[in-house]
Structure 1
Amino acid sequence: MKSMKKILISLLCLFLVLPWLAPFTAASNHQNETEIEAEDAGETAGKDEVVYATLSPSGAGKELYIVNSLEVTEAGEIADYGAYSNVKNLTDLSEISQSGDVVEMSASVGKFYYQGTLDHTNLPWDFKMTYYLDGEEVTPEELAGKDGTLEIEIDTTENEAIDPIFYENYLLQISFAFDGEKTSNIETDEGILANAGKDIQVTYTVLPEEEAVLSVTADVTDFELAGIDISAIPQNMSIDAPDTDEFTAEIGTLADALQSIDDGVLELKGGATELHEGTTALQSGSTEYKEGIQALNNGSGELVSGSKAIQDALATIDQSLGDTDGIDGGDFNMMTEGLEEFASALREIKNGLVELKDGFGAAYEALDEAITAIPGHEVSEEEIIALKQSNANQDTVDKLLEVYTAALTVKGTYEQVRDGFSAVTSTLETMITSLETIVGSIQELIAGFNEFLEKMDPTSGLKELQEGISTLSANYQAFHSGLVTYTEGVGELAAGYTEIDAGIGELNNGTGELASGVSELRDGTAELAEATQDMPEQVTEEIDEMLAQYDKSDFEAVSFVSDKNEEVNSVQFVLKTEPIEKAEETDEAEEESEKKSLWERFLDLFR
């Protein structure tokens, strides 16, 4: 018992004396520092920095410190730089001194580690973690221990307050694990899922100079999350350019094909221009023909009226000759003059019909050649749909289809009235022949009548004259009927041809739009062919530029804490969010123990 009391008294004395020994210990350390200062300055061959940060579950920074690893090649006093709020030696028990941003320490050859804590939490990236449960945004604290459909969204953006060299050259890897026994139906578009024991690991990669929005959904029960791990390292791997010869060869073939298309469109442009010129001439001829046929139709009434007057005159003469009383020589002379005027009128009609036949024949020949030259190709509905779904200029395609439809309409209408056109010429020839026959008959009648008057007594030959006039009147009546039928046909032809002429006008307008559209198409294909002429070289350059964007092999590390630090070998970032976990009940005994003083806890060891 007495031994125990002595031990207690000795320990108590030691406990009370220790504070008084501290100044002497400090003096001894100061003496050691003085000796170190007297030593030669040490040398280093570079340093590594590992940046550790603790983030809240929502991504806000909470703590930021750096673990520095110095490669000491010659023992002695060495210096490093960093605006730390405090520093800690992680290598041995020697002290580290700090003055402003200068950190000094005494180190032996080899690795020397020390930790520096920063008074800010700024990183090259800003992180934001958002949590949704059953579609409603919730805080991490509210989420712990809950069930439902969970969505985690992670946003990464550049922090412009930090040197952009890290954002531009560092690769981010973000990962966290779900409890496989409490999680199901995990889905993510941007990440990779992997089994890690009973857990399911979710991993994302964010390339340098990229901002990302990452998300994952899962059905969870009694949810907890150990935290989200984020690491950042330089993407300093080099990327070899792939062999693009085969690819560029195919592109060269494409460029050649585009040039061929341009050549074909150029020929199409010439053909479209010629087609438009042809339809313009066709429209001009058609307009003249329409005006001529309308003029003929307009004069048909007068022609029929004149012919009817001639017919009535012949009938009157025939009737007058039947009544021979009161006829004298003067009447015969008047009859002869009337027949002469009649013959002259018939000649004028015949000459007019000859001119009409010749003009109509020329116009009809030009019209027939122009319309016959219009291709009759049929384009199927499938071909039209394929053409509309192609890469061709759709305005030009629509114009082509309009021209195609108008051309087929004109061609079809013409085929329906073509027989009528052909019949006009033959009818005109028949009428001209009939008029020539009638005029010849009248001339013979006049000659015979004059001879009769000279040699014979006029009254004795009246019967023969009457028979001749009667025959002439009967023949002319048939001619007049044919003339009426002809003029009716001319009227129908004039009415029908108006539609044909309108169709030809639409065709000409369509070919004009086609020529204009093909001209624009040619401009486009020419520009495309010119732009793609050097496409293989351009593609190769683009590939090189794209690869150069991701090739960070020439990156040289710089210090995260101070630009005064030289010979920096590497800088890495290790970040972690705090866990989302349910609150645990505190043991009352532990709480009571935490409230006891140091002396009470010391005495408890012997109770």
Structure 2
Amino acid sequence: MSRIKKTLFIFMAIVLVLPSFLVTAESNEKESEEETTEQVGVVSSKDEVVYATLSPSGEEQELYVVNNFEVEKAGEIVDYGTYSNLKNLTDLSEIKQAENTVKFTAPEGKFYYQGNIDNEPLPWDINISYTLDGENITPSELAGKDGHLELNIKTLANEQVDGVFYENYMLQISLTLDPSLYHNIEAPDGIIANAGKNKQITFTVMPEKDGDLSLEADVEAFELNGIDITAIPSSMAIDAPDMNDMTGDMDTLNDAIKEINDGVGELKSGVSDLNDGVVSLQDGSKQYKDGIAGISNTSSGLVDASKSIDSALVTMKDSIGGNSSEMDLGELTALPEGLTQIAKALKETATGLVTLKDNFATAYGTFDSAIQAIPANDITQEEIDTLRESNPDNAALEKLINTYDATSAVKEAYTGIKEGFNAVGPTLDTISGTISEIAGGLETTATELSSALEDMDVTESIGKLQDGLATLSSSYKEFHTGLVSYTGGVSELSTSYNELHAGIVELTGGTTELEDGVAELHDGTGKLYESTNDLPDQMQDEVDQMIAEYDKSDFDSKSFVSSDNNEKINTVQFVLKTESIQIEEPETTEEPVKEEKGFWDKLWDLF
């Protein structure tokens, strides 16, 4: 019986255990089969948001990444990154990690998980410093203080991290200030806006740029909420502005500069011709001055000679007026020849005066044309002062002003003596004609005297000769008086013309400087035209270069946690925040309040 009972007991045990064993074996077999047939998931894109907590001075304290997957096909997903801790933010399924490989099973749609990272540097070195009333102060010492606050934020590229983020990401730094604590807020590089009852200050640091940002304010009982720093790719496309209007204006400006350059070129040519004319005027003026001076220098001799002739005529008249019987007829017979020689000399003098008149007319015509060619522009001293104020230290302008003053002085002087110039020609004609008449009279007298000596009675002839000599002597006295007046006028003209010639010499120097100044001005306008000739193209190149510098629309995002392995990265963003600086509240110790237990609580305590 005992053996039967024992056998029956064993059989019953087998019956009871076998179904459980079969079920377990079947379950293990199914799990093994499921593991071998696990589907591979497909990810269409991945986003990474890097969160970091910084100290109030900018040192990194905690860093974690939220990975966001757009799962196109459910199944096993493989991601890469070296994390110290993982957390599934989507469901309760397990996430496995082996070294830098992360595996998880994700359903179709959005899937999130968080990974904490230890000792991983950010792409930017951030330094935040504080001064109160001009003294450096630590954040812990600053809480609750009053005074004038200066806050400085500096951002630099971190050489330990791939430069792709520094080169393509834009930093946005924002602070929120309580107006009841902060007054007279100044942020030269930031934008101050209202955010509810608070003031929000926002700074922007462009890609590939270091930030040096400052904020000043008067503060009471200092407290500061955390500073928010966001880094996003500057991927917005920048449309090139329509440069047609601007380049059209530049073309118009360039055409105007060309016209100015051409006009200055014509001015240069005109001034060169003017200078050549003034140089010729100076040469002619010198010849005229020398001629007038020569005439003036010989005037005294001419007056003396005329005085001698006058004396001789008086002596002859007086001699003939005496007793004819006592006269030396031999000397009388020589008188016609002497009168003829005097007449010849007077004719030569008349011819010389005609030549002098012609030369004077030629020189005066050249001089008058040159003076008339000088523009009669009346420029006021106020206009000159305005030009000097608008063009300080302009040597060419000063040359132009000096030349204008010199030409104005010459023209004014010429206007004053022009009547004297105009009277020279007629005076020379009158004198030349008078001398010619006197010469003719002497020749007639000589001829008549010679005939009288040959054919007529000596006494009668001498009487006639005496009358003729008396008439000639009387006429010659008038001529001599006119000659003295003429030589005085020539002397005065010579003296006045010396001053005029000095002005012409100064004018020549001025026009020479003017020609040099206009030449320099033409060179300057020529260089200006050359430098602005392709200005529209230069502007377009500058605009294209600026756009290329900030247009990151062709940037392809790279993973922050594993740039070599993670693919299909849509965006990577950085969200950084500093710890707040707050006034510490005093600790209070409170006694715990004892509550009366109910029936069910007491019943539960029994178990």
TM-score, scaled to structure 2: 0.79
Distance 1:164 1:121, change over 3 A: closer
Q: Deviations over 1:34-72 (max 9, x none)?
A: x98996766544432223334443444455444444555
C-alpha displacement of 1:572: 1.1
> How far 1:417 sits from its partner (Å)?
0.9
Residue 385 of structure 1, CA deviation: 5.6
| Per-residue deviation, 1:149 | 3.0
More divergent stretch after superposition (390-399 vs 340-349): 390-399
How far, CA to CA, are the matches of 2:545 and 2:525 in structure 1? Answer: 28
Q: Which residue of 1 aligns with 2:4?
A: none
Alpha-carbon distance in 2 for matches of 1:278, 1:249:
43
Unpaired runs of 5+ in structure 2?
1-30, 592-607
Matched-pair contact (CA < 8 Å) for 1:76–1:108 = yes
Contact preservation (8 Å) 1:374, 1:407: yes
Q: Which residue of 1 aligns with 2:499?
A: 499
1:177 maps to which residue? 176
Give the whole-Å Cα distance in 2 for the aligned partners of 1:585 and 1:93: 44
Rg larger in structure = 2
For 1:199-598, list aligned pairs within 5 A: 199-321=198-320, 327-381=327-381, 383-384=383-384, 396-456=396-456, 458=458, 462=462, 464-525=464-525, 528-529=528-529, 539-540=539-540, 542-564=542-564, 565-586=566-587
Distance 1:330 1:163, change over 3 A: farther
- Could you tell me how far 1:502 is from its partner in structure 2? 3.4
**One-letter amino acid of the structure 2 residue matched with residue 477 of structure 1:** K
The alignment partner of 2:80 has SS state of strand
CA contact (8 A) 2:66 2:112 kept: no
Question: Residues 318 and 142 from structure 1, CA distance in 2 versus in 1: closer, same or farther, beyond 3 angstroms?
Answer: farther
Go from structure 1 to structure 2 and tell me whether the alpha carbon gap of 1:464 and 1:182 turns closer, same or farther (over 3 Å shift).
same
* TM superposition shift of 1:510: 3.8
Tell me whether 431-440 or 303-312 shows the greater mean CA deviation.
303-312
SS at match of 2:224: coil
Contact persistence 2:93–2:105 (CA under 8 A) = no
Structure 2 CA distance for aligned equivalents of residues 290 and 62 of structure 1? 100
TM-score by length of 1: 0.79
Contact 1:52 1:573 in 2 (8 A): yes
- Aligned CA distance change for structure 1 residues 389 and 206 (closer, same or farther; 3 Å): farther
SS in 2 for 1:491: helix
Q: Give the match's secondary structure for 2:216.
A: strand
Q: 1:309 to 1:62 in 2, by over 3 A?
A: farther
Does the 8 Å CA contact 1:37/1:77 hold for their aligned counterparts? no
- Flag the 1:335–1:67 CA change in 2: closer, same or farther, 3 A: same
What amino acid does structure 1 have at the position aligned with 2:104? S
Q: State the alpha-carbon separation in 2 of the partners of residues 43 and 66 from structure 1.
A: 21
Contact 1:36 1:106 in 2 (8 A): no
Distance 1:240 1:280 in 2: 63
Aligned-partner Cα distance in 1 for 2:536–2:63: 50
Counterpart mapping for 1:86-101 below 5 A: 86-91=84-89, 94=94, 96-97=96-97, 99=99
The one-letter code matched in structure 2 to 1:491 is S
2-structure distance, mates of 1:88, 1:105: 11
- Structure 2 distance, partners of 1:417, 1:129, is 85
Question: How many positions carry a matched residue from both structures?
Answer: 553
Per the alignment, residue 186 of structure 2 pairs with 187
Which AA in structure 1 matches 2:273? E
Q: Which amino acid aligns with 2:290?
A: E
Deviation at 1:74, TM superposition (A): 4.3
Task: Say whether the 8 Å CA contact 1:36–1:77 is kept in structure 2.
Answer: no
- Which amino acid in the other structure matches residue 76 of structure 1? E
Kindly tell me: are residues 469 and 149 of structure 1, through their superposed partners in 2, closer, same or farther at Cα, counting changes over 3 Å? farther
Q: For residues 129 and 444 of structure 1, do their structure 2 counterparts lie closer, same or farther at Cα, with a shift above 3 Å needed?
A: farther
Distance in 2 between residues matched to 1:308 and 1:37, nearest whole Å: 152
Displacement of 1:128 in angstroms is 3.8
Q: How far apart are residue 137 of structure 1 and its match?
A: 4.9
Q: 1:298 to 1:581 in 2, by over 3 A?
A: farther
| Per-residue deviation, residues 524-578 of structure 1 (Å, max 9, x unmatched) | 5555556656655654554444334332221111123433132222111222233
**1:17-38, CA deviations, whole angstroms, 9 ceiling, x for partnerless residues?**
xxxxxxxxxxxxxxx99x9899
